[in-house]
Amino acid sequence: MKSRTVIFHIDVNSAFLSWSACYRKNVLGEEVDLRTVPSIVGGNQEARHGIVLAKSTPAKRYGIVTGEPILTAKRKCPNLIVIPPDFHLYVESSQALIELLRRYSEQVVQYSIDEAWADFTGYELLYGDMESFAWKLKKQIREELGFTVNIGISSNRLLAKMAGDLKKPDLVHTLFPEEIEEKLWPLPVERLFLVGGSAAAKLHDLGIHTIGDLARYDVNALKAHLKKHGEVIWNYAWGREEEEMLEAREGNKVYGNSMTTPVNVTDARYAKQLLLSLSETVGMRLRADQARISCVSITLRDCEFSNRNRQTQLESATDVTEEIYETACRLFDELWDGRPLRLIGISTSRVSYEEYRQYNLFDQGRYDKLEKCNRAIDTIRSRFGEDAVMRASFLKSGISHTGGGLNKEKRARTAGKRSSREKGGYSDG
């Protein structure tokens, strides 16, 4: 008899804040555990455009939400502790979690820096009841790594992820198909995977307020209002995942790149050329996954190995290389104090997969042109190689036009997958 498919979704609770808190308490010896006091991760509190990246549970009680400006959060809680992000620490902590999970399952897929799926199908004979085992696994993560996770259990990845989000923190939940009507349908529709703010607003206009309302709505009417995205989220409301959609995004929810320089960088123009190179690879990866981001961060490491970070929230989600680059340059000008640099990095977050963009009055024409140009270049590169198209500014610069992060072979494979999904890419029209 074939065993039932069992998928775990493991999600770190307030990942950035938890990882920073663990490091500060266990390594630096700080007395205060940031998780027990009102605190946030949000960059330099003096930065006018800084946003909340992660918050503690006590901070949440003040009404502080992820994504809001730091200045707004400080008004809600004047004694709020603000610490800058440490993306290198976060990567190390993420890797430690994945390594632990792979002790117990041969099939672990990282979805983002703080999320992963693990397939435990057929492991009942080894580990016993899966829900009981999940509680043991969660406890081991807390004892060994110092932070807490939520674990969702179901028969597919979508429902496992939704299960883990039912209630936090430090809990285990199941959400099998037979539990959908009881556990999933009563939730607000914005709690459904891939239902962002703009999609939720459109659904509310249609009288759809819960996930159950969405499931019972006519799918053809949804497609008329939300196109393909309407059909996707309607299937999600019934617990049916799109295999291709989730597969294309596995391990790619965190889009970032960094470059260690062979010599100290003291020239702003040279530094910005490196930022352009990094932006190219970030943009290519976003478009390959049909993803957009609305937060851009940069990291600068000086010759004394001191890291500085700054981030900003975009008005609209984007996958356009030029927009990422221009934002990174603006952050660079705000952050760099002239000290020689040994590493420059770009990180993007607040990922969405909606097919539309909220335009302001002036940017639609420019954005559409850049988007079409970027995608046409991606198609050429996927067919003829990454070096088939290059910006003129790189010709005699001595800088790789697509530097950092993934090597060219990996990027080519990713772009090739996307090209095949699009059945030949873009036409000449």
Q: Which residues are catalytic?
A: 115
Judged on CB neighbours under 10 Å (0-12, 13-18, 19+), 40 is buried
Number of Cα atoms under 13 Å in the Cβ half of residue 177:
10
Residue 411: what residue type? R
Strands (E), 25-70: 39-41, 54-55
Taking the C-alpha atoms of residue 160 and residue 340, their distance in angstroms, rounded to an integer, is: 46
Q: Are 50 and 70 in contact (CB under 8 A)?
A: yes
Q: Are 340 and 264 in contact (CB under 8 A)?
A: yes
Judged on CB neighbours under 10 Å (0-12, 13-18, 19+), 19 is buried
Residue whose token pair is 């995608």: 375
Strands (E), 128-208: 149-154, 172-174
Taking the C-alpha atoms of residue 61 and residue 182, their distance in angstroms, rounded to an integer, is: 28
Taking the C-alpha atoms of residue 75 and residue 34, their distance in angstroms, rounded to an integer, is: 19
Measured on CA atoms in the order 255, 402, 86, 335, is the torsion positive or negative? Answer: negative
Taking the C-alpha atoms of residue 156 and residue 164, their distance in angstroms, rounded to an integer, is: 13
Q: Are 239 and 193 in contact (CB under 8 A)?
A: no
